[in-house]
Structure 1
Amino acid sequence: MTDDALQPTPNRCALERRFSDFATFGEALDYAAQGSRGLNFHDPRGNLARVYPYSELRDDARAMARRLVARGIRPGERIALIAETGVDFAALFCGAVYAGAWPVPLPLPTSFGGKDNYIDQLAVQLASSDPQMLLFPAEITEMAGAAAARQGCDGVTYEDFRASPAADSALPEQQTDDICYLQYSSGSTRFPHGVAVTHKALLNNLAGHSIGMKLEPDDRCVSWLPWYHDMGLVGCLLSPIANQVSTDYLKTEDFARRPLAWLDMISRNPGTTLSYSPTFGFDICARRISSQSHVSERFDLSRWRIAGNGADMIRPDVMQGFVNAFAEAGFKATSFLPSYGLAEATLAVTIMPPGEGIRVELVEEERLSGTPRDLSRPARYRAIVNCGKAVKDMALEIRGENGKPKGDHQIGKVWCKGPSVMHSYFRDPVATEECLVDGWLDTGDMGYMADGYLFIVGRAKDMIIINGKNHWPQDIEWAVEQLPGFNHGDIAAFSVETDNGEEAPAVLVHCRVSDEDKRVELRDQIRDKVRSITGMNCVVELVPPRTLPRTSSGKLSRAKAKKLYLSGEIEPYKLLEAA
């Protein structure tokens, strides 16, 4: 069959849709394989390159499971997989599940950080998950092989594993309370603890997706999200399987090079109605199109019913910028569907009801920080985004420092409870007990409830406390972003200890200016801007572009930025001190 003859899997088929009402994930794939829907992989320009019906995925996965059994893999053992978007990872992940082993998705190397850092990252996650094997694409053999050797597990390329013999034996029976897979949460303070997710928890959460988004018979999904991150893996691979949705994929690295290929795919593929992205994905597309015209001629986003948004703080100004850029292509603001979740809850905790769009409340900064209002200064407000209502079977509480629930519009720690909350952190009962109390999960995030809707304020661990007053790093970062020439992710704010022993806010900023005098001017401008917004003097350090560290999902890691800065691994530009 030539590429020209490829036909994508259909949106609708004769198989009656079931909303993830299965006992195990293997059972879910067995059912999806009875229909004609499936996965569709695209090249860097968004052209269809490989069609992979669920029936073929099931056959491949069961063959992979028998190869694992032939290698002596037993139920409960871990199989680490480098999560490349494609046929091999999908078949191996599902194959490990059929074999009763626990697949452990791990990240691909990124364009930042370097080879040694990637090997170190893999080695840490391998040490934590203790797998029997690490399977990976041939092109990263040197790095992945080095990490596997350091851990003492087998390192095998996808290609070599496919060519290995398979056992001719029955596969083990799966039980709904068995662990299905381990997930590493890229931004978690508990990293590198693997989140152990049972079949029951996974399928309950996937049912929550379909019911919360009100899936329709003709819905089709497009995704560029990485499969080692919970939103990409659970939301855009496992959920389409368990809810029988045809899905089109663009590799994450191809999106990074050509972001608008994502919107081209949505426009070109008939019936595309679902696609998710963190805030920065919408932001980069709006920025790329700002200098171009004829938006309506290139794109047709009128069928995009659910533009899901999650995985990082949702910024209403960015969302409005996307609407402004693509309204003439038919995109509707009501298509936005904010959500909130974390790997420790499998994925989704809340989802905005479809059609309600981005809704915000303006909240005084003093309320956010829990400090008395300074009446000598004008009130300042932050727009807090409504992240929707709890998914199926999920309970929510906002608790104070004393552990007692708070009322509506009272800010506190977000706790959740339900069948999709994680089983545990793998081999770490202490960390598990710290965040799981009587079945309730301490998410580590701050927020408040209002009429059944959840509003997320920020992560408690990121809070900057200066002179007894709380400040959110997002407020400082956003202040700097208002200056020309800065993009989302160019700034990291955190607290540091000064020479006199007091805490002060520090801001690391990517600097693209080479002139010394211009750099000094920029530094002073940033200081003034932060002071005008927060009333605080801060340490401003200009650092080379692409210096600030990211999590495996591409989000800014403030904790790591602080660590690297204090250790001297991030070297700021040397500037003259301001007079």
Structure 2
Amino acid sequence: MKPTPTTNPLLPFRAEGFDTLAAGLDYAAQGETGFNFFSARGELVEVLPYRTLRERALDLASRLAGRGLDRGDRVAIVAETSADFVTTFFACQYAGLVPVPLPLCINIGGHDAYVQRLRGMLVSASARLAVAPGDLVATLKEAAETTGVVEVATAAEIATWPAADEPVAPLGPDEPCYIQYSSGSTSFPRGVLVTQRAIAANAHAISVYGLKLGPTDRCTSWLPLYHDMGLVGCCLTPVMNQITVDYLPSTAFARRPLLWLKLLSDLGGTISFGPTFGYELCTRRAQSGVPEGLDLSRWRVAGIGGEMIRGNVLAEFAERFREAGFDERAFLPSYGLAEATLAVTFAPLGQGVAVDTIDRGRALEVERRAVPVDETRPARAIRSFVLCGRPMPGYAVEIRDGHGRALPERCVGRVCIKGPSLMQGYFRNDVATHAVLLEDGWLDSGDMGYLVDGQLVITGRTKDLIIVGGRNIWPQDVEWAVEQLDGVRAGDVAAFAVNGDDDRERVVVVVQCRAMLEKAQEELRAAVAAVVRRVAGVECEVVLAPTRSLTFTTSGKLSRAAVKADYLSGAIRDVTASPERRARAQLEQLAVAS
């Protein structure tokens, strides 16, 4: 078994002219490129040329059409990184059905929480059919109880159903394409209804303007296919551009992140994206040295998105893997969101990471102005942000105040966007739709930021902003600083504000604590408080929580809203508040002393 080739010798490269996903796959199927799926050990387990994908999808589409489903019905599919998922997804395109990718159970609270989350999505989407890999069928059936789902099956089972008598009719340019559930970092996830025109417009803009894809490009991805960056950026856009993709399961990347780089090296990948933490994890795993033979010299686009971009982390990655041929100019910061299908802005290709360093004093925290640091004056508190680039042609970005008025450059406000791939709305959720789709046709992204020479800078989420004494404190600043302490890892910290009895906001910092001895716990508590005092200039309540206490979205982002809710409900409690934990710590302390 060999992976699909990078190029199509007999099929001209084509990046435009497709108005539906089915049309894009129809063209790609005339070549030799396709998808390659690797195991958790980096072994090639399945090769799926686009030609084969189309054949299987058409066959499955006929069987779905013969099951009595109506055109436009929703089919929920657990988005495992597998041939079965992409085949079922495209079968829905050909059968006139709307696929709804569902998340895998990764770091979202265990079985019961996962079932509840799936059930909420099934109800929200009014799904008629649900599809899962064999080991998750029982879980999906449990979630489908009391919903409108009439049948739960595997792709293999669907392949045995009788085919329809009539030919299938693919979804057209004016019809829906799929429903993408946002990761839900600030609320329960809402279903973004993505149209065929929206995906065609965004895939075209990404390939032509953002990445400048060509016939010799090859994509490598570990991103989950239920997340917009994984689905649109590393699955649908490659299909619409006949680009081969090499897939590593997300769970495999979490355990062995350097497999991502090995696939890039071995197969000559030129395009790959990830959030900042993906690059950080690779750097940590390579502390003892870069694997022998690793060659990253062909990696021309190392995209970053999906969360706040941390320039220092990327610099450390570039330094660590320079000897493997990695060029820091390959870094490509970007900004996007599911409500825009995916991408909105890209930094210039081939220029790497550009950083804007500003004064973090009164100008930012009170006046909401991003004032550049004056290098001729003594050093003060500063903050560096990565520039995420300019909007792609056809897209626009405005920074607005709370009254909807456009703000000038270097004024911090709400990031509003406009473009051809904006969602029509959240599926059957008019209240949520009206809250973000403005009357003038713009979308309020829910993010905060500012513009510098037309380039977008993201400073955080609107709802996450901490306001104390009239000062604006970005929780990321607090979290990143605390993560630098010994014994604290990336992703261990959540900072937020709660209202006290006097109606004033106070800052709470929850830290997952691995220290078992009481003395070590109290030293950590004092160190966290000191860091917050230094970084933000405020006193805070430090909560040392057990490991695995923090809640993350399906895309791996910290859900501060969920952590805050758990704190307020008492679900998150300080380890020293538990009599059992205190007794165990004291016993261990005695053992050490003896």
Measure the CA separation in 1 of the matches of 2:358 and 2:17: 40
- In structure 1, the partner of 2:417 is 416
- In structure 1, the partner of 2:204 is 207
1:59-98 correspondence runs (5 A): 59-98=55-94
> Any idea what SS the aligned residue of 1:11 has?
coil
Measure the CA separation in 2 of the matches of 1:572 and 1:142: 35
Of 268, 271, 274, which residue of structure 1 is paired with 2:271? 274
Q: Is the aligned partner of 1:327 residue 2:322?
A: yes
Of 29, 35, 40, which residue of structure 2 is paired with 1:39? 35
Q: Is the aligned partner of 1:573 residue 2:575?
A: yes
Shift of 1:188: 4.9
Q: Is the aligned partner of 1:402 residue 2:400?
A: no
Q: Is the aligned partner of 1:337 residue 2:327?
A: no
1:485-504 correspondence runs (5 A): 485-504=487-506
Measure the CA separation in 1 of the matches of 2:245 and 2:259: 15
CA contact (8 A) 2:107 2:552 kept: no
Measure the CA separation in 2 of the matches of 1:521 and 1:174: 60
Measure the CA separation in 2 of the matches of 1:363 and 1:94: 47
Measure the CA separation in 2 of the matches of 1:83 and 1:11: 27
Q: Which amino acid aligns with 2:393?
A: K
Shift of 1:572: 1.9
The CA deviation string for residues 392-431 of structure 1, in whole angstroms up to 9 with x for no partner, is 3111111122212122222211111111001111111222
- In structure 1, the partner of 2:513 is 511
Shift of 1:199: 0.5
Shift of 1:164: 1.7
Of 518, 522, 541, which residue of structure 2 is paired with 1:539? 541
Unpaired runs of 5+ residues, structure 1, are none
Q: Is the aligned partner of 1:57 residue 2:58?
A: no
Shift of 1:481: 1.6
Of 12, 17, 20, which residue of structure 2 is paired with 1:16? 12
Q: Is the aligned partner of 1:352 residue 2:353?
A: no
Of 218, 238, 241, which residue of structure 2 is paired with 1:240? 238
Q: Is the aligned partner of 1:475 residue 2:472?
A: no
Measure the CA separation in 2 of the matches of 1:405 and 1:370: 19
CA contact (8 A) 1:296 1:328 kept: no
Identity %: 47
Of 527, 531, 544, which residue of structure 1 is paired with 2:529? 527
- In structure 1, the partner of 2:373 is none
1:283-302 correspondence runs (5 A): 283-290=280-287, 292-293=288-289, 295=290, 297-302=292-297
Q: Which amino acid aligns with 2:195?
A: T
Of 127, 141, 153, which residue of structure 1 is paired with 2:137? 141
The CA deviation string for residues 352-406 of structure 1, in whole angstroms up to 9 with x for no partner, is 1210111000122234333489xxx973111111001112311111112221212
- In structure 2, the partner of 1:426 is 427
Measure the CA separation in 2 of the matches of 1:372 and 1:137: 49
The CA deviation string for residues 322-341 of structure 1, in whole angstroms up to 9 with x for no partner, is 01211111111100000000
Q: Which amino acid aligns with 2:253?
A: F
> Any idea what SS the aligned residue of 1:474 has?
helix
> Any idea what SS the aligned residue of 2:521 has?
helix
CA contact (8 A) 2:107 2:554 kept: no
Q: Is the aligned partner of 1:101 residue 2:97?
A: yes
CA contact (8 A) 1:8 1:48 kept: no
Q: Which amino acid aligns with 1:13?
A: P
Q: Which amino acid aligns with 2:175?
A: D
Shift of 1:575: 5.7
Q: Which amino acid aligns with 1:362?
A: T
1:307-326 correspondence runs (5 A): 307-326=302-321
Measure the CA separation in 2 of the matches of 1:381 and 1:187: 30
Shift of 1:157: 2.1
1:356-371 correspondence runs (5 A): 356-365=351-360, 366-371=362-367
* Cα 1:296–1:21 shift into 2, 3 Å: same
* Cα 1:392–1:191 shift into 2, 3 Å: farther
CA contact (8 A) 1:351 1:388 kept: yes
Alpha-carbon RMSD across the aligned residues, in angstroms, is 1.8
- In structure 2, the partner of 1:252 is 250
* Cα 1:455–1:536 shift into 2, 3 Å: same
CA contact (8 A) 2:185 2:558 kept: no
- In structure 2, the partner of 1:151 is 147
CA contact (8 A) 1:138 1:159 kept: no
Measure the CA separation in 1 of the matches of 2:367 and 2:453: 25
Measure the CA separation in 2 of the matches of 1:45 and 1:298: 18
Q: Which amino acid aligns with 1:410?
A: C
CA contact (8 A) 2:3 2:36 kept: no
* Cα 1:372–1:33 shift into 2, 3 Å: closer
CA contact (8 A) 2:187 2:561 kept: no
CA contact (8 A) 2:186 2:559 kept: no
> Any idea what SS the aligned residue of 1:416 has?
strand
How many residues are aligned here? 567
* Cα 1:190–1:345 shift into 2, 3 Å: farther
Shift of 1:547: 1.3
Q: Is the aligned partner of 1:176 residue 2:177?
A: no
- In structure 2, the partner of 1:380 is 381
Q: Which amino acid aligns with 2:245?
A: T
Shift of 1:299: 1.1
Measure the CA separation in 1 of the matches of 2:123 and 2:480: 37
Measure the CA separation in 2 of the matches of 1:524 and 1:190: 32
CA contact (8 A) 2:192 2:339 kept: yes
Shift of 1:296: 6.2
Measure the CA separation in 2 of the matches of 1:416 and 1:370: 25
CA contact (8 A) 2:413 2:448 kept: yes
CA contact (8 A) 1:415 1:443 kept: yes
CA contact (8 A) 2:410 2:452 kept: yes
TM-score by length of 1: 0.95
The CA deviation string for residues 176-218 of structure 1, in whole angstroms up to 9 with x for no partner, is 1211110001035453321001100101000111111111220
* Cα 1:173–1:145 shift into 2, 3 Å: closer
* Cα 1:143–1:569 shift into 2, 3 Å: same
> Any idea what SS the aligned residue of 1:518 has?
helix
Q: Which amino acid aligns with 1:419?
A: P
> Any idea what SS the aligned residue of 2:63 has?
helix
Shift of 1:571: 2.3
Q: Which amino acid aligns with 1:550?
A: F
Measure the CA separation in 2 of the matches of 1:73 and 1:93: 15
Measure the CA separation in 2 of the matches of 1:492 and 1:420: 33
Shift of 1:7: 4.0
Between 534-543 and 445-454, the greater mean CA deviation after superposition: 445-454
The CA deviation string for residues 48-97 of structure 1, in whole angstroms up to 9 with x for no partner, is 22111101111111111111111111221110000001111101101111
Measure the CA separation in 2 of the matches of 1:432 and 1:10: 41
Q: Which amino acid aligns with 2:559?
A: S
* Cα 1:27–1:345 shift into 2, 3 Å: same
Between 422-431 and 331-340, the greater mean CA deviation after superposition: 422-431
Measure the CA separation in 1 of the matches of 2:292 and 2:105: 36
> Any idea what SS the aligned residue of 1:409 has?
coil
Of 137, 157, 160, which residue of structure 1 is paired with 2:157? 160
